[in-house]
Amino acid sequence: MLDIKMIRLNEDEVKTRLATRNVKPETIDDLLEQDKIRRGLVVKTETLKQKRNEVSQAIAQAKRNKEDAGVAIAEMKEVGNEIKQLDEQLNVVNDKVLDMAARLPNLPNPTIPVGPDEAANVEIKVVGTPRKFDFEPKAHWNIGENLGILDFERGAKVSGSRFLYYKGWGARLERAIYNFMLDEHAKEGYTEVLPPYMVNGASMFGTGQFPKFKEDVFQIEGQDLTLIPTAEVPLTNYYRDEVIPDEDLPVYFTALSPSFRSEAGSAGRDTRGLIRLHQFNKVEMVKYCKPENSYDELEKMTLNAGNILDKLGLPYHVITLSTGDMGFSAAMTHDVEVWMPSQHVYREISSCSNCEDFQARRAHIQYRDEDGKLKFVHTLNGSGLAVGRTVAAIIENCQNEDGTVTVPEVLRPYMNGLEVIK
């Protein structure tokens, strides 16, 4: 969440920067108008409460002097009723200001590309060269079904569209990949966590999914619980409403978890394969750090994601997302996209974001600086990686003409030495 005081003091700059994220200037005007009303009500209530204190003292003095305090008592009652009415108004306006502010996205870092959508994204690094096949490469779903390691038909029968079964060496490959990822991140100093897979509304608010994106998730009817769309939510909320000791920063967490997404608005997109599912595994990276270090930590996190693809031998590139393509809570995002031969295109496999103090302000996560002053930490998150998409990339990039798939060398110890999936 953005600091309302900062918005008030930098109105024009906020309007300009948020305009690049499709926020209309009138939205800021409406918020500041409600904030003005709120501050006016606060002044009125504080003035009346001061008056009530003075009247109370006058009543006490009159009683000590055995004087008639009837007029003063009547006045205090009238003041009390007025305070009650103003407090009710203030609660309504406070809720309105909070809701309006909570729906504003983060301010984009001034250095990122400006544009309405993914067409304005900028490529910053290319790693590896896409393999030249001497046969027409097949899509991962066709290869997986032919090998009997992916079963989309029975997944749809049992659960519906965008679900599947991994079977045999397919299940083993998925497990090998996420164990390899967790081991690699542990080498980089991440603490492995096994988080809850359901979280409350306060946690969803803390990371920015609520209130704006409720249609994108699966909620438990009648309970304050939501199936996590990513392990970012429980990992980032680990320190919600806490002060992290200065000496503990930076904090690195990594976790494997299922991710549950309704994929609202994605009708007709990636209807086949492992790219866009309602349930998928993902290894997540989350960092808490001091503001002065957060952009260095973003670069390290992006390298951590790329390191997985380097060791798997998969070609990829890294892009910086434009203002119009970036996620709600992010100030800057680097996407790592892996090459998919059957589509002749790079597809996202990791998204690494610096949220600055946006999530920390919502979740109230702080630390004390050298002077003992409380400040909000900066939070970062990134996929390290989306496991199903990694399976898809391995199947496609490592496929053979006879329909088999060569297992990347680094995964073979996790697969009982298997070299080729037949």
Binding site listing for ATP: 261-263, 348-351
Question: Is 351 designated active site?
Answer: yes
Instruction: Give the C-alpha separation, 103 to 161, whole Å.
Output: 31
Catalytic residue among 21, 261, 361, 362: 261
Catalytic residue among 356, 361, 389, 396: 389
Pairing mode, if any, of strands 198-199 and 191-192? unpaired
Question: Is 261 designated active site?
Answer: yes
Binding site listing for L-serine: 230-232, 261, 284, 381, 383
Question: Is 64 designated active site?
Answer: no
Spatial CB neighbours of 83, under 8 Å, sequence gap ≥ 6: 45, 48, 49, 52
Binding site listing: 230-232, 261-263, 284, 348-351, 381, 383
Question: Is 174 designated active site?
Answer: no
Say which residue the tokens 């008639």 belong to.
Answer: 68
Spatial contact of 105 and 23, defined as CB atoms under 8 Å apart: yes
Catalytic residue among 52, 103, 175, 276: 276
Question: Is 348 designated active site?
Answer: yes
Instruction: Give the C-alpha separation, 74 to 415, whole Å.
Output: 83
Give the closest residue to 144 by CA, choosing from 169, 161, 176: 169
Catalytic residue among 257, 294, 342, 351: 351
Q: Which helix (H) or strand (E) element contains residue 198?
A: strand 198-199
Instruction: Give the C-alpha separation, 364 to 197, whole Å.
Output: 22
Instruction: Give the C-alpha separation, 334 to 353, whole Å.
Output: 6
Instruction: Give the C-alpha separation, 253 to 244, whole Å.
Output: 14
Active site (catalytic) residues: 261, 276, 348, 351, 389
